Amino acid sequence: MYLEKQILGCFLKDNSLLKDTAITKHFFSDDINKSIYESMQKLSREDTAIDKVTLLSENFEILDKLGGATFIDQIEHHGDVENFDSYEKKLTQEFKARASEKIVKTWLSKEEKDIDQLLDRLQKMDDFAVEDDPDKNAMLTKLHDEAFTDNKDKQVIATGLKDLDNYMKGFRNQSSYIMAARPSMGKTATMLKFVLEAIEQDAVPLVFSLEMSGEELTRRLVSTIGEINLFIATNPYELSDRKKDDWKYATNELFKKDYEIYDKPMQTIPYIRSKVRKAKKKYEGRQIIVFIDYMTLIHHEGKFNSDHAKVTDISRNLKMIAKEYDCPVVTLAQLSRAVEARQDKRPLLSDIRESGSIEQDADMVMFLYRENYYNQDIGENELEIIIAKQRNGPTGKAKVYYNKATGKMGDLSEN
């Protein structure tokens, strides 16, 4: 209770602190202190001076029993305004600890225990955190040093496709990327190309697969590494002896690599958050990159008036994950059928379902397009990656090699 009196004492000494504080009445564990704080808040909203006279008039019955004006004088002797920030932070930490303990106890008392719901509620406790003010000088010092330090390989994961990297310079931390296409354009193959390239750069890809099973994705990874026909790979026993050697080599290579595939059905944002959080601890010091296949299959337990509201919430949360866990988040998305009605079937931003919120939250939106899908006489083994939006860079088009049979991708100049 001593800390709570220090906080109240600071408010009595400097009424202006009440205008700026992040503290709410729930932060106080003592009912009397809580009542006094509520009275202070009310007086502050009314622009009324907060002193022993006004507080007594607001809480006369309670304060009179405790000593009246003498009790308020005692409170005013507590706390040093110069140390208010540290008091505020300490009180916030104590509140979060109590609230988290209560959440866990309530969860344990339930017959049906949803671990995702528990993690989500605990995560939301961070909303009450009192953060340190951003340090302008530290940020400027960092930016100054960047011009004289080679940071080319830090916090950036190259795509492995030179033409594409010329536009985007790789995947960056705290950024949200949307990769959208119509069916059969090569979304999964492109994602797995990025996964393998991230692995080669000692990053750890986390793949949240809401459509394909973990075994299917792994089979495609093996086929891509071994350059094995995806159809034949469904039954590798029928492979030729040479291709069985390639199969063996590819599986052994993947044994050595660090990556995670989560294929649980009905995955939610809290579930994704929890897995990213665990991976950050498990691979401490390593770069993490998140892939989600695909956006509209993310399950949401909330009630929304429209699909637009639901997608808006999911899109915002994907960006929050990127920022909070300091990693790139690459999310696959489907395009509407409106593409098929046009003569030029190259996608546009308006073709993304509920495109407004996605376009706003994403740092980059890229589309996949294969001319050969519509005209088999043109562009075999060619894939266009169209950068339709890039927050801090140019838009444009990169052409890459894509072997649909094996899933192998690369630069056109080398294939």
- pLDDT tens for 315-350 read 888 998 999 889 999 999 888 888 888 888 888 888
Domain architecture of the chain: domains with CATH: 1-128 (1.10.860.10), 156-411 (3.40.50.300)
Indicate whether 396 pLDDT > 80. Answer: yes
Q: Three-class SS of residue 126?
A: helix
Beta bridge partners of residue 387, listed in sequence order: 366, 396
Q: Which of 117-131, 138-152, 335-349, 374-388 has the lowest mean pLDDT?
A: 117-131
Q: What is the mean pLDDT of residues 70-83?
A: 81
The pLDDT of residue 141 is above 90? no
CA atoms of 159 and 157, how far apart (whole Å): 6
Cβ atoms of 177 and 329 within 8 Å: the answer is yes
Q: What percentage of residues in the chain have a pLDDT greater than 70? A: 93
| Confidence at residue 89, expressed as pLDDT on a 0 to 100 scale | 84
Rounded alpha-carbon distances, angstroms, from residue 199 to 125, 203, 206, 253, 289: 34, 5, 11, 11, 10
Show Cβ contacts of residue 398 under 8 Å, excluding neighbours closer than 6 positions.
Answer: 161, 163, 164, 166, 167, 384, 385, 387
Q: pLDDT at position 102, please?
A: 87
Give residue 289's pLDDT: 96
Mean pLDDT across the stretch 382-410? 91
Residue 151 has pLDDT above 80, yes or no: no
Query: 171 φ, ψ to 5°?
Result: -85, 130
**What pLDDT, on a 0 to 100 scale, did the predictor assign at position 257?**
92
Give the pLDDT band (50/70/90) at residue 25: confident
pLDDT of res. 173: 94
Alpha-carbon gap, residue 158 to 170, rounded angstroms:
4
Report how far residue 262's alpha carbon sits from residue 405's, in angstroms, rounded to the nearest whole number: 25
pLDDT at 92: 86
- 103 pLDDT band, cuts 50/70/90, is confident
- pLDDT above 90: percentage of residues in the chain: 27
Whole-number Å distance between alpha carbons of 275 and 370 = 34
Tell me the pLDDT tens digit for each residue of 196-218: 999 999 999 999 999 889 899 99
Strand partners, 366: 179, 387
Mean pLDDT in the chain? Answer: 85
Q: How confident is the model at residue 33 (pLDDT cuts 50, 70, 90)?
A: confident
What pLDDT band is residue 72 in, cutting at 50, 70 and 90?
Answer: confident
Question: How far is residue 233's CA from residue 237's CA, in Å, rounded to a whole number?
Answer: 9
Looking at residue 152, its pLDDT comes to: 57
How far apart CA 171 and CA 189 sit, in angstroms, is 17
The reported pTM is: 0.69
Q: What is the pLDDT, as a whole number, of residue 302?
A: 66
259 has a pLDDT exceeding 90: yes
Q: How far apart (Å, rounded) are the C-alpha atoms in residues 320 and 189?
A: 26
Give the ranges where 110-161 is alpha helix by DSSP (H): 115-124, 136-146
Euclidean distance between CA atoms 161 and 125, whole angstroms: 41
pLDDT above 90 (res 368): yes
- Answer yes or no: is pLDDT of 147 > 90: no
Query: Residue 13: what pLDDT?
Result: 87
Q: Is the pLDDT of residue 134 over 80?
A: no
Chain segment 267-278, per-residue pLDDT in tens: 888 788 878 888
Residue 131 has pLDDT above 70, yes or no: no
> Could you give the angle at the alpha carbon of 315 between the alpha carbons of 158 and 133, nearest 5°?
80
At 132 the pLDDT is: 52
**Quick check: 127 pLDDT over 60?**
no
Residue pair 288/206 in contact by the 8 Å Cβ criterion: yes
Residue 126's pLDDT band, with cuts at 50, 70 and 90, is low
